[in-house]
């Protein structure tokens, strides 16, 4: 008997989802827990896994359409792999198998590309047949997955193609929400940005000295973000207005630090929240962020993890940013922007020396935060980063 694949409940406030991409086709055999389709809401992207191994019977709602919670979007006929493959890996249709078997080199290349986790099988096959490295193709699927269409577009561009082409794609619910919230933040808040810079020498030396011991004990590298999270917590304790929020005609202050960390998730930027960050050690902060990043790539961040937050940190430096003005995540009143670390000449003790420098930026809501508090807050961040001993002594 066929199993109905339905849109799962993804949150109390969510009644409708957007069908982002089908990873499988009708007649294709899938393994248990293999992701079938990517669903998008206004806050996050989720994958729907197969409840059992079997063959996809029919796809009821195509990609690009909307569906309500509980709607049947596909059917699955449970059973063993008809091709006799017991390895649990996805098999291809007979036609695709025949095509793939024409050249062992192409087949090996496709398999190698598929194991990367971000290249869809059909895209890997087209890439192999076209002698294109799939890693050089920009993916437009959920989580940055490379689709067959991406490879075809890439090949067409490489071959010259027809040149002046246009492609109209509906904005996903997440992208629509990002656009709406950014415009709202600019319109409803009195945003202002102040800047400073940090000499990263002390932290780099500290990481170099203790990195091996840290990895050995906690099985994770000591990064820069945990230092900034700790610095933010200390500065928020000293200047609580930065973490306050406007509710009507009231200002709400909190005695805890729920720090949001911006993470690129393919379809857009998401900000999962580190709850009670003030209670966590450096290792616990690093482990939490690493877990967020991994699950963001796999579309497994829950809506609850994206809600709330008293302050946000975003790191444009991972993309090579030198300087930017981050935008506040409403209803928060402040966001810290980290940037790239670049060697620059600076004046130190009357001499010009080369130091690894990072520009930092604080965007704040001037309705809540005065300029003196904002500038002083950023100075505290700078002092803690340049002398990380202050983080341990909490001074």
**Measured between alpha carbons, how far is 18 from 4 in angstroms, rounded to an integer?**
18
H helices of the chain, in order, are: 94-100, 104-114, 121-129, 148-158, 173-188, 201-218, 225-238, 282-297, 371-386, 389-393
User: What is the b/e burial string over 183-192, where b = at least 16 CB atoms within 10 angstroms of the residue's CB?
Assistant: eebeeebebe
- Torsion over CA of 203, 209, 213 and 216, rounded to 10 degrees? 70
Distance of CA 355 to the CA centre of its chain: 30
Residues 293, 144: contact at Cβ < 8 Å? no
Residues 77, 114: contact at Cβ < 8 Å? no
> What DSSP character marks residue 316?
G
Report the DSSP beta bridge partners of residue 55: 29, 77
Please pick, among 33, 131, 188, 366, the residue that the annotation labels catalytic: 366
Examine the residue annotation and report whether 366 is marked as an active-site residue of this protein: yes
**Measured between alpha carbons, how far is 35 from 9 in angstroms, rounded to an integer?**
16
Q: Interior CA angle at 95 toward 31 and 167, to 5°? A: 85
**Measured between alpha carbons, how far is 386 from 346 in angstroms, rounded to an integer?**
14
**Measured between alpha carbons, how far is 232 from 378 in angstroms, rounded to an integer?**
9
Please pick, among 33, 188, 212, 370, the residue that the annotation labels catalytic: 370
Tokens 């965007």 belong to which residue? Answer: 363
Catalytic residues, by residue number, are 366, 370
């Amino acid at each position: 008997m066929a199993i109905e694949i339905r849109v799962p409940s993804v949150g109390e406030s969510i009644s409708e989802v957007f069908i982002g991409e089908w990873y499988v086709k009708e007649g294709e055999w899938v393994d248990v827990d293999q992701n079938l389709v990517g669903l998008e809401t206004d806050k996050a992207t989720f994958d729907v896994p197969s409840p059992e191994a079997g063959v996809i019977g029919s796809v009821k709602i195509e990609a690009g359409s909307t569906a309500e919670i509980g709607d049947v979007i596909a059917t699955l006929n449970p059973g063993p792999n008809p091709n006799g493959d017991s390895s649990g890996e996805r098999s291809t249709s007979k036609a695709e198998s025949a095509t793939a078997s024409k050249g062992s080199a192409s087949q090996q290349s496709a398999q190698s590309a598929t194991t990367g986790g971000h290249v869809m099988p059909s895209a890997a096959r087209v890439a192999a047949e076209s002698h294109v490295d799939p890693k050089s193709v920009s993916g437009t699927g959920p989580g940055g997955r490379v689709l067959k269409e991406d490879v075809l577009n890439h090949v067409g561009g490489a071959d010259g193609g027809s040149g002046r082409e246009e492609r109209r794609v509906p904005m996903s619910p997440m992208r629509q929400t990002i656009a709406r919230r950014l415009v709202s933040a600019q319109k409803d808040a009195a945003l202002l940005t102040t800047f400073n810079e940090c000499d990263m020498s002390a932290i780099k030396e500290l990481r170099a000295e203790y990195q091996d011991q840290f990895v050995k004990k906690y099985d994770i590298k000591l990064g820069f973000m945990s230092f900034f999270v700790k610095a933010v917590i200390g500065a928020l304790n000293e200047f609580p207005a930065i973490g306050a929020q406007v509710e009507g005609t009231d200002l709400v202050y909190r005695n805890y630090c729920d720090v949001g960390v911006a993470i690129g998730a393919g379809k857009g930027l998401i900000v999962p929240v580190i709850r009670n960050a003030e209670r966590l050690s450096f290792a616990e902060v690093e482990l939490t962020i690493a877990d967020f990043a991994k699950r963001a790539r796999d579309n497994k961040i829950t809506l609850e993890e994206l809600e709330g937050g008293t302050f946000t940190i975003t790191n444009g430096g991972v993309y090579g940013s030198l300087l930017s003005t981050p935008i506040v995540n409403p209803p928060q009143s402040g966001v810290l922007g980290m940037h790239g670390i670049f060697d620059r000449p600076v004046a130190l003790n009357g001499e010009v020396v080369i130091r690894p420098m990072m520009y930092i930026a604080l965007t704040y809501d001037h309705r809540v935060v005065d300029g003196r508090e904002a500038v002083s807050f950023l100075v505290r961040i700078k002092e803690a980063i340049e002398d990380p001993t202050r983080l341990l002594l909490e001074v």
